A and B are shown apart, each in its own frame.
Chain A
């Protein structure tokens, strides 16, 4: 009962904040300035990212994918700085998760290295495109991408232990295979992969989108690793998270070197998401409310639509 109340409180407080921001930002656009003191925005950013950190963990998504459309849509910061901060938020989360995942053998380094090379190189190109394109084009593309993610979240199936009859030649040459201990069954799960060349090709697109929008790319990594390559779901999710630390590093450097980093936006966001994630993991240990997944989908749909309409000049 208490937990349900907490969830409802969380959702309402978030919606309240979000609507508050929407009206505030709308008035700013009209007036061309903010009526709030300077410190209010970093403080609100910290609160919102803290809540996003909780929701992201409970909803099983990365913080970056929620951060960019929501902060970009409802805060007065230019999208260039929001994407730079989004990349660093996703990067910090991935760096923090990496050691544990690698040590437990859930993230696989041999699987990551070839994919990361492709994705991180593409992310550089994506970052450069994103910083060159006009704001309305980036907003439109961001909106379409976010709405695409919503469709993926609603329709994509997951396979706990996909069947791979024969590993492809490339993965065999690179010795990409592994074994991990599955505590739910008490068994060791051996895995191998197939369709590696197609996956590498898809990671070109994933890297470009990650760099262009600063979203992180777990939403795309996991289906490619799990459904296309046949990586068991736990290894796919863990490897995806670790992979982000490399993809986002290259794009983050482009944003940093291009001047698209403002510490007053970046640092409260990183700390907020990190603290929120810690609280989220504790809540997750008690229960995983299904409603949160729908809250995440709802938030993404709303903020994606907002970005799209903003880009098209319909909802300025």
Chain B
């Protein structure tokens, strides 16, 4: 019989949030894609025109479609493809949520190195998500 080796409190807490979040994210991603694919919400770029755009580099793609980089997609959330960005952004936010969950555990344990590392990691991920660091040119 397999011996029980219990992982640390923070490891289990991270796993629990990740488990629920991932399941929710996958369901969400399928639902939003079905809404897009079946035209339940109208797309910003007509689906049949996509082959004209997906061969362009990202800079020319943004220019040709008039889409703005960063969080500007939130303004277009009623369009089918941008609704999908919501579920993709959720997947991107999951790790941040997990780190925020384990931060108080490290603080409670007075584990100073890991409190600092966790805090810095949250800030780095928030910086990446913030939209300040974006590239749109070649």
Contacts and interface: CB of A to CB of B under 8 A. Distances in A.
Interface centre among B2, B18, B114, B120 (most CB of A within 10 A): B18
Interface stretch (A217-225, A262-270, A300-308): A262-270
A277 interface: no
A254 B135 CA distance: 8
A179 interface: yes
Given A109-B10, A117-B124, A253-B92, A181 B51 contact: no
Given A249-B92, A257-B70, A131 B135 contact: yes
Interface stretch (A96-104, A153-161, A290-298): A96-104
A99 B18 contact: yes
Interface string A169-211: 0000110000111010000100000000000000000000000
A299 to B, nearest CB: 23
A181 B47 contact: no
Interface in A121-136: 121, 124, 127-128, 131-135
B10 A263 contact: no
A88 interface: yes
A6 interface: no
B11 interface: yes
Query: Which size bracket describes the interface of A in this complex?
Result: 35 or more
Contacts of B130: 257
Query: Which size bracket describes the interface of B in this complex?
Result: 35 or more
B128 A173 contact: no
A78 B137 contact: no
Q: Is the interface of A mostly helix, strand, loop or mixed?
A: helix
Interface of A: 33-34, 37-39, 41, 76-81, 88, 91-92, 95-96, 98-100, 102-105, 108-110, 113-114, 116-117, 120-121, 124, 127-128, 131-135, 173-174, 179-181, 183, 188, 245-246, 249-254, 256-267, 270-271, 274
Given A109-B7, A174-B114, A271-B29, 20 more contacts: A38-B48, A81-B54, A102-B15, A105-B11, A109-B11, A113-B118, A124-B127, A128-B135, A133-B138, A183-B2, A246-B121, A249-B128, A256-B88, A258-B135, A259-B61, A259-B136, A264-B47, A264-B54, A267-B33, A271-B33
Interface of B: 2-3, 5-8, 10-12, 14-16, 18-19, 21-22, 25-26, 29-30, 32-33, 36, 47-51, 53-58, 61-62, 67-71, 81, 84-85, 88-89, 91-92, 94-96, 102, 113-114, 117-118, 120-121, 124-125, 127-131, 133-138
